[in-house]
Amino acid sequence: MAIKNYASEISIERIFAELQQTLGMHGAKQISFDYGDDGKVHGVQFVIKVNDRFIPIKLPARVEKAQTVLKKQWEDGTISHKRGKENTYGYEQAYRVAWRNILDWLLAQMALLEIGMAKMEEVFLPYMQDREGAAIPGRPRTLVTDGVSRLQTNKYNSTCWPSCHGHALPPSWLKACNPARNGGAHDHNGFYHGVVL
């Protein structure tokens, strides 16, 4: 199956404008674009409000990965050769395809938000950043099942069996459970060592 939007011709400026407008309409603040040394946007950053706290989010664009898939699909004949190599899997097209798919994903997530099927913190959980701007380790989306956080189960057979102050944590989060790093403070009203519970 061909990668979604592989033939997109929508201008990158329009994609960015719609992305920024969509985020703003749904409560995101401090929206900014992260430029690389090549002058291209490599990610979009913003904050969302969760339990009266602002949580930083960073959505990355992994253009090289999109370009690899486009090239493979062009070589396999999955996508049309009519447009030529550069217009199918050149960097500029891969850049457009990557960002167009990010926008489509965002629009779909915001639709779920609007009909009450998701919350902002659920949508952006895998992209949350700590106070230093680093991604929270451990792919935390896997920690929520049936609306209940596994951080509260403290079960040995959970993927999150290590414990910290009574909360089960996945092994890769053990560094986050360093009281000295956070002044020993923890807030059981939904925020713990930079991790939303």
Same domain as 82, residue 33? yes
What average pLDDT does the structure give for the chain? Answer: 77
- State pLDDT tens for residues 95-135: 999 999 999 999 999 999 999 999 999 999 999 987 777 77
Q: How many structural domains is the chain composed of? A: 2
**Domain end: 101, 127, 153, which one?**
127
**Can you give the residue range of the structural domain that contains 81?**
12-127
∠ Cα 70 136 17 (to 5°): 50
Which one of 29-33, 50-54, 130-134 scores highest in mean pLDDT? Answer: 29-33
Question: What would the pLDDT profile of 82-91 be if each residue is shown by its tens digit?
Answer: 888 888 899 9
φ, ψ dihedrals at 180, nearest 5°: -65, -35
Domain contains 117? yes
Q: By CB neighbour count within 10 A (0-12 exposed, 13-18 middle, 19+ buried), where does 116 fall?
A: exposed
Residues 88 and 146 in one domain: no
**For the whole model, what pTM was predicted?**
0.68
